[in-house]
Structure 1
Amino acid sequence: MPTFTALTTLADGENANRMAEAMEDMDPAPEGVGVFEMEDGSGLWEVGGYFTAPPDDIVLSLLAAAWDARPFAISELPETDWVAKVRRELVPVEAGRFFVYGGHDTDLLPAGRIGLLIEAAMAFGTGHHGTTLGCLRALDRLIDAGFVAHNTVDIGCGTAVLAMAAAHVWPDPVMASDIDPVAVEVAAANVAVNGLTGRVDCIEATGFDHPVLRDRAPFDLVFANILKGPLIELAPSMARAMAGGGYAILSGLLNAQAESIIQVYDENGFALAHREEIGDWTTLTLKKRQ
């Protein structure tokens, strides 16, 4: 599958984040959007989008003009066997009691750790990205604090690594959902490989809009490792779907975006319990008010 990149730079960080949000509404939509402050002392910000179909250069030109950015440079990346590449380059990740590893590193699983086997595949969430690592650390802190979840859902589950982590430590079944059918297939395969069939149920759903999720609510723990725009849209339905005193672990956020998410969720009945930055990314642990 070909991959296309669209990159630009601009001088204003706030405009960079706003343009990145606008890019998420493109058609075809990017698979991911990133905003980074350049480290060359120029004061510029880079905005990049990754696409699996040629991006609309007219829309990109309009976005660049609207946010006072340089014209986008669009490139097609050479096709790469990313699965083989990831297997060669990714090393196990440790997040408290959790140990995320590939099948080629089975012999490295330390005694007493909870192993989460995630093979390189077509879905996000190997534990190496700052957002997934942040969510695992947040879960580890809740466990250490004595919290016990009885009804957990992982929204936008990707590989289902977060759902599986919860299923390993608590006895009640866990839900994992994703809007992408490929991710749901990968999640189900990972669940089976980890011996958690029947403990983690994987479904295709948009947010909480699924009869199974409506029937299972209220949840006392929600993972949502997605993007800022979907997190904002999800806030009201998450508030309705959660029990008072429950926790939401949110990520997929650039550090500069965290305050706006905290504000939106505060308006929807959530209080900030913990915030962690890992590189450019922030993970928020929010508690639903009673």
Structure 2
Amino acid sequence: MSDQAVQIIARGARAEAEAAAAALDGDPATEALTYSILEEDEDRGIWRIDAFPNEPEEQAAIEAVLRRYKDLRVTVEKLADADWLAMSLSGLPPVRAGRFFVYGAHDKGLVPPNAVNLRIEAGAAFGTGHHGTTVGCLFAYDRLLKQRRFERVLDVGCGTGVLAIAAARTGSRVALGTDIDAPSVRIANENADLNAAGARFVHASGLNASVVRSQGPYDLVFANILAPPLVALAQDIKGALKPGGIAILSGLLRTQERRVLAAYLSRGFRLERRLHRDAWSTLTLRRA
């Protein structure tokens, strides 16, 4: 870990920002980076990338990628020695995505009576519902629930656990989440307890762990990760699904749709729907 945490910010036109984000995904030194990209100023057409490196080497790699785009204005800001993640989350409003209302402890007095209320505390995990990929998955899932329920659900790369918890709270008998990050698994299980949800989260890499196989095949698989692992896991996700099962994929930019879709269509999936939020895409696919 670097001596003092920093935030790298890049601002510019949408095309430049999306191209830079795609380059971050494609560079081996930064492809596992968690970052955000969003429209900061609609009137001026300004888009913004925020990245939080964990190591000096990662910081240097991120800056090297971003500074290749001459029309982006790149700045590096030091973060104060405080729980900046908790402070930033405390200022985020709750999120409504169809029937789901996602909130933190600071907004527990605002929960509506006519929603599936999900209290999610992020800690060091990804997925509060505010990011375009997470809320896109919730909207896609909400639409599917209007036609059917899903008895067995798997969430690959669960982060805070919000997606599997949403499944457990809407009738799924099995709601299993996996993550390669042990702190995320702990946080997800804590969130399941907060929501009295019958979701379970385990530390596992990929879909071949015995605990994952023993609960399958699944009616629905969430995978809100990054484009490269989405492509790499296409065959494994197919194998985890029942025939006719649904995959909700996100964590990819609109510019990466074609690459991810090609990997799944070539394995017999059919595109049911795509949803765009900010620069991000969420794909709903059905296994043949």
- Judged with a 3 Å threshold, the aligned counterparts in structure 2 of structure 1 residues 217 and 5 are, in CA distance, closer, same or farther, namely same
Equivalent residue, structure 1, for 2:264? 265
Equivalent residue, structure 1, for 2:25? 21
Equivalent residue, structure 2, for 1:142? 144
- Tell me if 1:181 matches 2:182: yes
Q: Secondary structure at the match of 2:57?
A: coil
Instruction: Kindly state the Cα deviation for residue 30 of structure 1 after the two structures are TM-superposed.
Output: 5.2
> 2:99 is matched by which residue type in structure 1?
R
Over residues 59-109 of structure 1, what are the superposed CA-to-partner deviations in whole Å (9 max), with x where a residue is unaligned? 6688689xx645996836223423442343111111111111112222211
Q: What is the TM-score with the length of structure 2 in the denominator?
A: 0.84
The size of the alignment, in residue pairs, is: 282
- Judged with a 3 Å threshold, the aligned counterparts in structure 2 of structure 1 residues 263 and 14 are, in CA distance, closer, same or farther, namely farther
Within-5 A mapping of 1:177-216: 177-196=178-197, 199-216=198-215
- Judged with a 3 Å threshold, the aligned counterparts in structure 2 of structure 1 residues 42 and 239 are, in CA distance, closer, same or farther, namely same
Over residues 115-162 of structure 1, what are the superposed CA-to-partner deviations in whole Å (9 max), with x where a residue is unaligned? 1001241111111111111111111000012x2212111111111010
Name stretches of at least 5 consecutive residues in structure 2 with no aligned partner.
none
- Judged with a 3 Å threshold, the aligned counterparts in structure 2 of structure 1 residues 46 and 130 are, in CA distance, closer, same or farther, namely closer
C-alpha RMSD over aligned residues: 3.2
Query: Matched residues in 2 for 1:253 and 1:266: separation?
Result: 16
Query: Matched residues in 1 for 2:18 and 2:106: separation?
Result: 42
Partners of 1:163 and 1:175 within 8 A in 2: yes
Instruction: Kindly state the Cα deviation for residue 40 of structure 1 after the two structures are TM-superposed.
Output: 10
Name stretches of at least 5 consecutive residues in structure 1 with no aligned partner.
none
Percent same amino acid at aligned positions?
37
Q: Secondary structure at the match of 1:224?
A: strand
Query: Matched residues in 1 for 2:43 and 2:85: separation?
Result: 35
Equivalent residue, structure 1, for 2:128? 126
Instruction: Kindly state the Cα deviation for residue 44 of structure 1 after the two structures are TM-superposed.
Output: 11
Q: What is the TM-score with the length of structure 1 in the denominator?
A: 0.83
Partners of 2:8 and 2:77 within 8 A in 1: no
Over residues 226-247 of structure 1, what are the superposed CA-to-partner deviations in whole Å (9 max), with x where a residue is unaligned? 1111111111111111111111
- Judged with a 3 Å threshold, the aligned counterparts in structure 2 of structure 1 residues 38 and 160 are, in CA distance, closer, same or farther, namely closer
Pick which of 174-183 and 251-260 moved more.
251-260
Query: Matched residues in 2 for 1:222 and 1:48: separation?
Result: 28
Equivalent residue, structure 2, for 1:31? 33
Equivalent residue, structure 2, for 1:159? 160
Q: Secondary structure at the match of 1:286?
A: strand
Over residues 157-201 of structure 1, what are the superposed CA-to-partner deviations in whole Å (9 max), with x where a residue is unaligned? 1110100000011141210111111100100110111112xx211
Within-5 A mapping of 1:1-290: 2-5=4-7, 16=20, 18-23=22-27, 25-26=28-29, 31-33=33-35, 49-55=51-57, 69=69, 75=76, 77-79=78-80, 80-145=82-147, 147-196=148-197, 199-289=198-288
Query: Matched residues in 1 for 2:105 and 2:58: separation?
Result: 39
